[in-house]
Structures are given as C-alpha cells and as structure tokens.
Amino acid sequence: MKKVGHLFVVRVIFISILFISVCSIVRAEKQKKVLIFTKTTGFRHSSIPKGVRTVQQLLSREGIRSTHSEDVNLFHQDSLQQFDAVIFLSTTGDLFNDKQKLAFQQFIRSGKGFVGIHAASDTEFNWPWYGRLVGAYFSDHPEVQEAHIEVKDSRHLSTKHLPKVWVHRDEWYNFKDLYKEGLHILLNLDETSYQGGKMGKFHPVAWCQKFEGGRSFYTALGHTDESFDSELFQKHLLGGIRYALNIK
C-alpha cells in the first residue's frame, strides 16, 4: 500500500509540473511584444528618454515585452513580424524609404497595432498613408501651459480612469489635415481654458481608429518630462497601447 501511495504522489507531482510547464508555454506564446521607435530627423524632444523609460516600465508591469530602437532597418517584413504593435514616441521628419514604407503598411494590414505619442503627428508629412494612420498632422503650438481636456468617451481603455474634465499641463498641438472619417475622438481640448488654440470647439487631442485591418491610437500629450510623471497620463498611455494590441 505504501508503494502504491508513493507512486500516486509521484504521478501527482509529475502531472503538476507538466501542467505548470504547459501553462508557461501558453503564456509565453500569448505574451505581446512592442517596438518603441524614437527616430527623429527634425526637432528632437528632450523628453524622449523619460518617455521611453516610462513606457517600458508600464509595459513590463503588464507582462508586455518591449524593444526600443531608432534603427529604420527594423521596418522590414522579417523584422517587424516579431512585434504586435509599434509605438512612435515623438518621432519627427521623414524616416523611411519605399521598401520600409511597404513593410510598415503590410505590418498594419496584417492586423497589428500602431500608437502615436505627441510628435508622431510631426512625422512623414509627404506620405499620405501615414497621415491617415496617425489621424492628423501637427501644425503649430503655443507655449507649454495648463489646459482643460474634455473626456468624450469615458468607457475607452485610455480614458475610463479620467475625470470628466482633466486639467493637465502640456504642449498643445494645433492640427491640420485631420482625417475625421473613421476617427473615434477620445479627448477634446477646451480652447477657452488656455491661450493659443486655433481649431475652435472641435479640437481633439486623442483618438483611435480601426485602420486597414489594424488598430491605431494617437495622443497629442507627452511633450514634457513632467507629463510622463502623471499617473493619469500613464494610465492614458497604457490604455491606448492595450487598445492597439487588442487587449481588453
């Protein structure tokens, strides 16, 4: 009887170890990976290092792997396929050649995600497809100041934690070529609460969309180092990234 009992215990331990191993493999297979891309050929924001560290920390807590790079050669079909989303964190200027552009388009069309932070809208002005992906192009901005942001969708992953009116200090972009069709507006800037707005009552500063098979999220916030210290902004970013990755 003792021998039978011993064998039973051994089998239970073996099955338990096997179950844990299988679960670990499944989790590893499901673990998302994101590229944080910060290449600039125009103005370079001093907040980029702080932004990268903050985003990496947020992703790590969620069990999402990340790679930070400024190497445009990663925009190749074989290289991009390892990622589930790309984050353009204050990129600026023209970045890609035709082959890299095509690889990026194929990436999005395969169902992957895009997140644009702040100057991502100050990027690739001569590439209309990118303009539609990010949703608008940067025009100009006044000095950094506090403003009131109206939450237009309080159920979205990036906004559900926010107060109805969010008071935040940042650099407030005015936009041109805003692609209204298909954009789901998440946050709208109250131009009466600060100086230098040029868009009137309709002044979105965060939105999302389903785009050519993939998902796109953009937020105009994130100019200053201090903005990345804001817990409300951190949750806003993480919610947008989760949306782009299609994580509930």
Q: How far is the C-alpha of 235 from the C-alpha of 7, rounded, in Å?
A: 51
5 and 75 together in one domain: no
Instruction: For residues 13 and 92, state if they share a domain.
Output: no
Q: Are residue 12 and residue 42 in the same domain, yes or no?
A: no
State whether 113 and 225 are in the same domain: yes
Average predicted confidence (pLDDT) for the chain: 91
Same-domain status, 37 and 21: no
Residues 174 and 161 in one domain: yes
pLDDT for 16 beyond 60 = no
Task: Mark whether 26 and 38 lie in a shared domain.
Answer: no
Specify whether 39 is located in the same domain as 128. Answer: yes
Residues 26 and 123 in one domain: no
- Closest by CA to 152, choosing from 80, 208, 108, 99, is 208
pLDDT at 180: 85
CATH of residue 231: 3.40.50.880
Distance CA 110, CA 106 (A): 6
State whether 81 and 10 are in the same domain.
no
Tens-digit pLDDT profile for residues 138-192: 999 999 999 999 999 999 999 999 999 999 999 999 999 999 888 999 999 999 9
Instruction: Return the number of other C-beta atoms located less than 10 Å from residue 182's C-beta.
Output: 13
**169 and 225 belong to one structural domain:** yes
pLDDT at 51 over 80: yes
Longest dimension (CA), the chain: 85
Give the span between the Cα atoms of 85 and 62, in whole angstroms.
Answer: 15
Report helix, strand or coil for 140.
Answer: strand
Q: Which domain holds residue 6?
A: 1-30
The pLDDT of 84-110, averaged and rounded, is 98
DSSP run (H or E) holding 185: strand 184-190
d(CA 230, CA 158): 14
Tokens representing residue 152 in the block: 């237009």
Residues 91 and 171 in one domain: yes
Six-digit token string for 147: 């403003």
With cut-offs at 50, 70 and 90, classify the pLDDT of residue 5. Answer: low
CB 189 within 8 A of CB 219: no
Beta carbons of 243 and 158 less than 8 angstroms apart: yes
Q: Which residues pair with 87 in a beta bridge?
A: 36, 115
Q: Total domain count for the chain?
A: 2
Question: Which of 115, 219, 241, 245 lies closest to 166 in space, CA to CA?
Answer: 219
